[in-house]
Amino acid sequence: MKTLWAGALAAGVLILSAAQALAASPHDGAWTIDPSRSFWSNQTGTLPANFKLTVNFKFGDNALTYHSVNTTQPAKPYISDHQTTLDGAVTPFANQERFNQVSVKQTDADNLQILKMKDGDVIAGEFWTFSPDGKTAIRRGVGKSPEGKSHAYQEFFVHQ
């Protein structure tokens, strides 16, 4: 009877562990920028008054599906999609004018590095810090404009 009970307990622990491993990340879902709490190092230091950006994350086992939509110009939304591993491997970044490669590295449970590149040259380096409670995130980085000027930014996001 002891052996049967120990076997059942072990099976229960395995099932619980598997369920936890498959559980959604607290960082999955839609993240919307709060322009009033965000900063760009351009001439004004602020984002356009009508700036609208939503980033969607879906984390998996060493995998990330990323989708963002910038509707600052509603007639011409800027959409960005990529699927990558979380180990820093460089992968193709399709359907983008400024980038053709992306590298994503999850440095710990609440931090993520995303490098957007053109032929190996980093055009934008962004570093996400998610709050442990899954409610807010800050994205810091440096990006090179199409004109070749680099600017730093810090953007505050709220989980929807």
Question: 6 falls in which pLDDT band (50, 70, 90)?
Answer: very low
Do the domain assignments include residue 75? yes
Query: Does residue 2 sit in helix, strand or coil?
Result: helix
Domain count, the chain: 1
Number of neighbours of residue 65 by Cβ within 10 angstroms: 14
What is the end-to-end Cα distance of the chain in Å, rounded?
Answer: 50
Expressed in percent and rounded to 5, the helix, strand and coil fractions of the chain are: 15, 50, 35
The residues pairing with 53 across neighbouring beta strands, listed in sequence order, are: 70
Do the domain assignments include residue 147? yes
Beta-strand relationship, 78-84 and 87-92 = unpaired
For 34-74, how does the pLDDT look when each residue is reduced to its tens digit (9 = 90+)?
Answer: 999 999 887 677 788 889 999 999 999 999 999 999 999 99
Do the domain assignments include residue 4? no
- Predicted model pTM: 0.82
Do the domain assignments include residue 1? no
Angle at 125 between CA 112 and CA 134, to 5 degrees: 30
Residues 91-104 as b or e (16 or more Cβ within 10 Å = b): eebeebeebbbbbb
For 66-117, how does the pLDDT look when each residue is reduced to its tens digit (9 = 90+)?
Answer: 999 999 999 999 999 999 999 999 999 999 989 999 999 999 999 999 999 9
Do the domain assignments include residue 126? yes
* Residue 38 belongs to domain spanning: 25-159
* CA distances (Å), origin 131, targets 32, 51, 95, 122, 128: 14, 23, 31, 26, 10
Q: What is the CATH number of the domain that holds 129?
A: 2.40.128.20
